[in-house]
Structure 1
Amino acid sequence: MKTLTVLELSKLYNINRQTIYNNIKKGILSKNSDNKIDLAEALRVFGEPVKKQDVKDSVKIDSPSSTEVVLLRQQIDMLKNQVSDAKEREMFYQEQIEAMQRLLEAPKPNMTTFTDQKSEPDITTDPGPEPEPKEEELTTPVISENKRIPVPELIEEEPKKRGFLSRFFLPNG
């Protein structure tokens, strides 16, 4: 004969597991050595199991009044708004990029172009005459003065940081 666990029996008869355990403890229901209950014993105590209603008939998933559906529709609307805002931002930034590119490509009035430049002799192919050193310049090197940025001599020193309590108990210093 078929044997059932307490969980299977509670699902079959739609009763609480504690009820089954209480019936076993009182001696109304018996279980075999592997802690399972014989189906014939369950039929004797509980009778024929009630046929459950078909779940698909009683629950409507697509009901528009369902709170989950309403929440999901709100989330979809919110995401649509976010996508449209993102597209607007993208168009704005794309226009900004195009404007910057037009500004970069615009010719500047004081710049010389490649055709306006004077042709200078190429040093690598035509070295030209080298200047001859004079005798006076050989003995004394030319010293150029380093130009430095002036730095102020006096920098005011920051006062020493004081703790919370020393601000109240020590004199100003």
Structure 2
Amino acid sequence: MKTLTVLELSKLYNINRQTIYNNIKKGILSKNSENKIDLAEAIRVFGEPVKKQDVKEPVKIDSPNSAEVLLLRQQIDMLKNQLDDAKDRESFYQNQIETMQRLLEAPKANMTTFSDQKIEPETATDPQLEPEQKYDRLTTPEQTENKRIPVPEQVEPEQPKRGWLSRFFLPNG
């Protein structure tokens, strides 16, 4: 059977030489005393080698300009989508703001039913009427004069704070 070197095997299977050495080290692939690998052993580990077909037609290679143009067009499409999403969000939030403003301007309904309504005179429009003050000692505090607490006039000033060492080296103050 045919034997191959590591370099020949890597070219035949189009794999890295380090991969072959790792397989040998792990015991997956074996080599003979001449440090060559049997083709049957390589087929067992890597399978049948893929034969390269000769290319009869010239391969069209895209110019770097067209690749850049394609990339830029994709970015433009992505930005257009983001702009459309932003416009949708803006209109949604604008509608929310208008709804909230309408709710704030709506009259507040303090009464639950029509029969609960009482006609109360407004003190702001009629200065003669003053609201009645209910007085009960449980919930309404009694109004008393503010009494000040007398402070003695002669107060000794505090001694300035001293550090730990100054207590030993400075005279008492």
TM over 0.5: no
